[in-house]
Amino acid sequence: MKIKYFTQKCAGSGVFPGAAWAVGNAEKIFEKGSTGFLGRGLGPASEDSIYDMASLTKIFVALAFMRQLEDGLVLLEDTVDYFLPSYKTSAFGKVSLFSLLTHTAPFPANTHLYRRVKNRSELLDAIHSYQFRAENTDKVLYTCEAFILLGEIISAVDSQSLDNVIRNRVTAPLNLKDTGYLPDAALLDKIAPTEFCSIRGKVVRGEVHDENAMMMGGVSGNAGIFSNVPDMAKVGAAMLSSLETGAFLSKPAAQLMTRNHTAGKGGNRGLGWILAGPGTPAGDLLSASSFGHTGFTGTSLWVDPVNKIYAVLLSNRVHPTRDNPGIFRARQIFHNLAVLEYRNNG
């Protein structure tokens, strides 16, 4: 009950308008619930409410990549220009897929691409024309560009659009019924709004919040996927079962994906995943082997193979404004409570 009371307190104090959550292991959900409202003037949030995953999209892209690796189609040492021939004339042509997945590719920082492009073509051209940043070129620097480019690569590998790659390699195999890009208008009443977008001149609902992904037409490797708690719980369970016995991913692939590949480089990164450490959302009690990811809109998934739990917290903390940092502390407390209540349960 502590999680329920805590999330109610968060909604009441304005950390988010509403939220939904689940904690479980590879076999079952221990607890799930919802609190608060979808948004201002809207009905209550529910366990089935659909949220903009924001950067949690990157995990779906990384999972699709790992499935391609298991099919013998890609290697971590492969370079961008192997799959995108136009990059033979780009500074980033010889950048490895490993560096994209671990955010160690030398992209410039804080580019705010959406402010200087008008569409998908211009955004991709801008990335193609980048030069390496001047300093710390082998350090971890989180960028959207790495996964925008990775999304283009996994699309090229399968000769399919990115939304179809994610559907065929991740959401369909995991039976994720409410997860994907560009949600149908019929689902609008279930979708939590985000914030007012000055570019679009409206409060965004049912469209991707992220401005770069918006310029990409809503289908991008960095953001754009919508999902809900039942589906994200399946992703958490799939990672636990893959690490334990090999399931959605083979055990070697899951272990490779969740290993620390960037020790001493300014942040602990797996392949797509953030690994527990100082300054991460893991909190105080999740194990050092835990991993997860967050989304700017207020979403998160964290998985702990030692305590044998996952924890999903989905919210629209950017509604009505992104100037609301309470979610960062709230995630850590949520994870602490999840461990205390359910570690090694069942």
- CB under 8 Å, gap of 24 or more: what pairs does 273-278 form? 273/59, 273/62
What whole-number distance in Å separates Cα of residue 283 and Cα of residue 182? 33
201 and 294 in a common domain? yes
Structure tokens at 275: 């690994």
Residue 21 scores a pLDDT above 80: yes
pLDDT (tens digit per residue) in 235-279: 999 999 999 999 999 999 999 999 999 999 999 999 999 999 999
Q: What is the DSSP string of 208-273?
A: ---HHHHHTTT--SSS--EE-HHHHHHHHHHHHHHHHT-SSS-HHHHHHHTS---TTTTS-B-SSP
Structural domain contains residue 217 = no
Structural domain contains residue 256 = yes
Do the beta carbons of residue 224 and residue 165 sit within 8 Å? no
8 and 30 in a common domain? yes
Residue 150 scores a pLDDT above 90: yes
Structural domain contains residue 71 = yes
What whole-number distance in Å separates Cα of residue 213 and Cα of residue 146? 13
pLDDT (tens digit per residue) in 194-219: 999 999 999 999 999 999 999 999 99
115 and 13 in a common domain? no
Q: Structurally, how many domains does the chain consist of?
A: 2
Q: Which CATH number characterizes residue 18's domain?
A: 3.40.710.10
Structural domain contains residue 216 = no
49 and 67 in a common domain? no
The three-class DSSP label of residue 81 is helix
**3-state DSSP helix/strand/coil % of the chain, to nearest 5:** 40, 15, 45
Q: What is the mean pLDDT of residues 283-290?
A: 98
236 and 94 in a common domain? no
What residues make up the domain containing 89?
A: 63-171
279 and 303 in a common domain? yes
Contacts of residue 31, Cβ cutoff 8 Å, sequence gap at least 6: 3, 4, 21, 22, 23, 24, 341, 342
Structural domain contains residue 218 = no
What average pLDDT is seen over the chain?
97
184 and 160 in a common domain? no
199 and 325 in a common domain? yes
- Going by pLDDT thresholds of 50, 70 and 90, the confidence category of residue 174 is very high
Residue 140 scores a pLDDT above 90: yes
- Going by pLDDT thresholds of 50, 70 and 90, the confidence category of residue 346 is low
Structural domain contains residue 247 = yes
77 and 39 in a common domain? no
Q: What is the mean pLDDT of residues 281-300?
A: 98
What pLDDT score was predicted for residue 287? 98
Residue 345 scores a pLDDT above 90: no
Q: What is the mean pLDDT of residues 52-63?
A: 99
312 and 185 in a common domain? yes
Structural domain contains residue 22 = yes
Structural domain contains residue 40 = yes
25 and 78 in a common domain? no
316 and 185 in a common domain? yes
Do the beta carbons of residue 114 and residue 178 sit within 8 Å? no
